[in-house]
Structure 1
Amino acid sequence: MTDTHLFPYAIALRKNKHYSQSRKRLFSLLTTATDKGPIYLHIAWSYDNQGRETQALDFYQQALGYPLCADDEFEAAFGLACTARCLGRYAEAAGHFERLLIRYPARTEIIPFYALCALALQDTVLASRLLMGLVIAHPPTDAIAAYQSTLAGYWHDPLYVAERTEVNNSSQQ
């Protein structure tokens, strides 16, 4: 099998839950590949899919050290953030999530994971802000969509903002 066929084959193996076999083929490609970023990303996904987050974290970091297409760069950075959160490295993960939201504001999949991270850090105000913003911007049901502007009005009301700030300040004391 040629290298041009081996990469898609390794990806197919991972998708079919043959993680060790997939990694074996991906690692073999690293010796000759000039485009190593995507290979490291797929190795990271293989470890992540298998629940081996510690190993996945290292390979997400390695993937980000090489040129990646825009989608793969997002996936590697998002994988790094999510994996750091899974490993209990909440402050590190929060920094990653914050940078991801700044760089990719339209990628709403970041928000629930960032909110989970904020909850783990006991920042309930941030978690609430993230989730309410998501619900207001992307109502999950027609019933909520009917109240979208009302919810946004309350959420941005100066009295409600002050109340949220008070709650946050008192919880940090």
Structure 2
Amino acid sequence: MSEATRDDLLRAAVRLREEGRPEEARKTLVALAAGHPHDAEVAYQTAWVHDVLGLEAEAVPYYEQCLGTEGLTADDRHGAYLGLGSTYRILGRYADAVSTLGRGLAEFPEDGALQTFLAMALFNTDHHHEAMRILLKIIARTSDDPRIRPYRPAIEHYAQDLDQTV
């Protein structure tokens, strides 16, 4: 298959997914992935469409493949970490979710979405304090709520140690 054909098919499949026709996109992407087994971008798009369809278990190998191969843009690597971490969590593979989201945060340390999904996975692994700490820091950093803003310093302080008393 020529590179032009690969690019055309990939663009068409992404367009189908974006137009709300994920099953059609999936058929194209699965065939494309079979013909390009080491193509990170094709694997990522194939994983994504499986997630859209609620086929999380089928998405996992494609996510793992795309993250284990060179060739993704930074945005797509971010999406792959988030997608795989979230998918692991949905499948009850909580330790894998924590590990994957942690690797994503090593590359994208300030990313609130990765932090939020990591907090959920940490909750699922009974690391409640760490999950709460992450979420409180996100709230303090990102909230525009006028009733929260004045308490930002206190929230940031308590995020470090929720058990602290006077």
User: What is the TM-score when the length of structure 2 is the normalising length?
Assistant: 0.84
Higher CA-based Rg: 1
1:46-100 per-residue CA deviation (whole Å, 9 max, x = no partner) reads 1100111000111101111221121111211221111101100011111112222
Task: Give me the whole-angstrom Cα distance separating, in 2, the residues matched to 1:18 and 1:96.
Answer: 29
- Secondary structure (helix, strand or coil) at the match of 1:135 reads helix
- What amino acid does structure 2 have at the position aligned with 1:104? F
Identity of aligned residues (%): 28
Match of 2:118 in 1: 114
- What amino acid does structure 2 have at the position aligned with 1:148? R
- Secondary structure (helix, strand or coil) at the match of 1:141 reads coil
1:63 correspondence with 2:61: no
1:116-142 per-residue CA deviation (whole Å, 9 max, x = no partner) reads 111111221111111111111212412
Match of 1:20 in 2: 23
With 140-149 and 120-129 compared, the bigger mean Cα shift is at 140-149
- Secondary structure (helix, strand or coil) at the match of 1:105 reads coil
Match of 1:50 in 2: 53
1:2-151 mapped onto 2 (5 Å cutoff): 2-30=5-33, 36-67=39-70, 68-151=72-155
User: What is the TM-score when the length of structure 1 is the normalising length?
Assistant: 0.81
How many residues get paired? 160
- Secondary structure (helix, strand or coil) at the match of 2:95 reads helix
- Secondary structure (helix, strand or coil) at the match of 2:163 reads helix
With 9-18 and 127-136 compared, the bigger mean Cα shift is at 9-18
With 45-54 and 137-146 compared, the bigger mean Cα shift is at 137-146
Question: Measured at CA, do residues 14 and 163 of structure 1 come closer, stay the same or move farther in structure 2, by a change above 3 Å?
Answer: same
Deviation at 1:102, TM superposition (A): 2.5
Gaps of 5+ in 1: 165-173
Task: Give me the whole-angstrom Cα distance separating, in 2, the residues matched to 1:10 and 1:44.
Answer: 12
Tell me the C-alpha RMSD between the 2 structures.
2.3
Question: Measured at CA, do residues 149 and 32 of structure 1 come closer, stay the same or move farther in structure 2, by a change above 3 Å?
Answer: same
Question: Measured at CA, do residues 79 and 6 of structure 1 come closer, stay the same or move farther in structure 2, by a change above 3 Å?
Answer: same
Question: Measured at CA, do residues 76 and 13 of structure 1 come closer, stay the same or move farther in structure 2, by a change above 3 Å?
Answer: same
